[in-house]
Amino acid sequence: MVTSINSFLHFALPDIGEAEISAVVESLRSGWMTTGPSSKQLETIFADRFGGEAVGVNSCTAGMHLALEALGVGPGDEVITTPYTFTATAEVVRYLGADPVFVDIDTETFNIDPRLIEKAITKKTKAIMPVHFGGLACDMDAILRIARSHGLKVVEDAAHALPTTYKGRDVGSLESDATVFSFYATKTLATGEGGMVVARDSEVAGRCRTMRLHGMDRDAFNRYRSTRPAWQYDIIAPGFKYNMPDILASIGLVQYSRLGEMHAKRSQLAERYNRELFGLPIQFPPQAPLGDIHAWHLYEIRLKDDAGISRDAFIDQMSERGIGTSVHFISLHLMSYWSKTYGLTPDSYPNAALASGAAVSLPIYSKMTDDDQTRIIEAIHSILS
């Protein structure tokens, strides 16, 4: 039976079960509520999977800030990124006194267009920060080639990209300087808040590890388990408070063990949308190249000009039917802070502006039932037929 229309179907829900709940209870009973053995275990899992070193943090935002700081980005520098992202990608650049330089997106993938990156490079450029939109990998060969030729650092915003692959390799295992994942409540691996930095260089990882906890040379777990007195530590820099608590890491460990099954469900949902929405006046999200994996964090459609309804009206009608949708994203250059600070207009990045006015993200999460999706599909047909 299809879910009652009177029951609101949320845009996204975390897939949390008894195993995650039990893990939290065990963490509470262990006495380790802050950074401890569970955090260390999750870091080890990510390091083993992606290579390099992994540093657990309390958000992807924190991870990107730490990565850029560790790579030496500072006042007067520029970091090239996309405007078609959540504000965190650009705001961490401002945290460091540097400036984001936006580059428009490819109209098919919504990812940063590598063909435009080289034109944006100046003497001030220090790094490139691509975003794997929706769970589809950017053209990393082109981006890394440009970075190498200009001596630039690369930090991947992989908030959407677990377990995305690029040319058969995990995003997180490529030749970038750092990759940052998000464990926010709506993500493919969800701990509520949290994230992970994966870095190739041990010095970069070490700097992230130190700066995530006040610039202290030892975290609580190491201080209280070492032969050196717990009170004996050093502050080597004015750091931040970005460490991952064990309560969240305990959820992450269970979620990681379920990552394959949760991704399989998301892929199944995406395939059904592709199949049963075919023929409607919409542009479908791009598929991953043959042999690669799309994480399907988002399933974003774009209404075509002949849809007979505006994007905003479509969202309203879906809501009237008790179905939540979202927009990813309102391009940053359309936001007041970014437009006023850098003198931007809607025409500054026309592809991103166009996408912002046509895109709708449909619900896609591993907890969704077949009846839930039937209800969504039927609602879309009734609005667009």
Q: Are 154 and 127 in contact (CB under 8 A)?
A: yes
Cβ–Cβ contacts within 10 Å for residue 1, how many?
Answer: 5
Structure confidence at residue 289 as a pLDDT band (50, 70, 90): very high
Q: pLDDT (tens digit, 9 = 90+) per residue, 163-198?
A: 999 999 999 999 999 999 999 999 999 999 999 999
Task: Give the whole-angstrom CA distance, residue 106 versus residue 130.
Answer: 12
Average pLDDT, stretch 108-113? 97
Average pLDDT of every residue of the chain:
95
Known catalytic residue at 187: yes
Q: pLDDT (tens digit, 9 = 90+) per residue, 319-375?
A: 999 999 999 999 999 999 999 999 999 999 999 999 999 999 999 999 999 999 999
Which residues in 135-233 belong to E strands, given as ranges?
A: 153-158, 165-166, 169-170, 178-182, 195-199
Average pLDDT, stretch 236-246? 97
User: Closest by alpha carbon to 38, among 194, 259, 203?
Assistant: 194
Q: pLDDT (tens digit, 9 = 90+) per residue, 10-42?
A: 999 999 999 999 999 999 999 999 999 999 999
Phi and psi at 92, nearest 5°, equal -65, -25
Average pLDDT, stretch 6-10? 88
Average pLDDT, stretch 52-59? 97
Task: Give the whole-angstrom CA distance, residue 195 versus residue 349.
Answer: 29
Q: Which of 123, 187, 241, 304 is catalytic?
A: 187
User: Closest by alpha carbon to 248, among 88, 95, 41, 5?
Assistant: 41
Q: pLDDT (tens digit, 9 = 90+) per residue, 201-227?
A: 999 999 999 999 999 987 766 555 555
Burial of 280 (0-12, 13-18, 19+ CB in 10 A): middle
Task: Give the whole-angstrom CA distance, residue 114 versus residue 112.
Answer: 6
Q: Is residue 55's pLDDT more than 70?
A: yes
Q: Which domains does the chain have, with CATH numbers?
A: 18-257 (3.40.640.10), 259-384 (3.90.1150.10)
What's the Rg (C-alpha) of the chain?
21
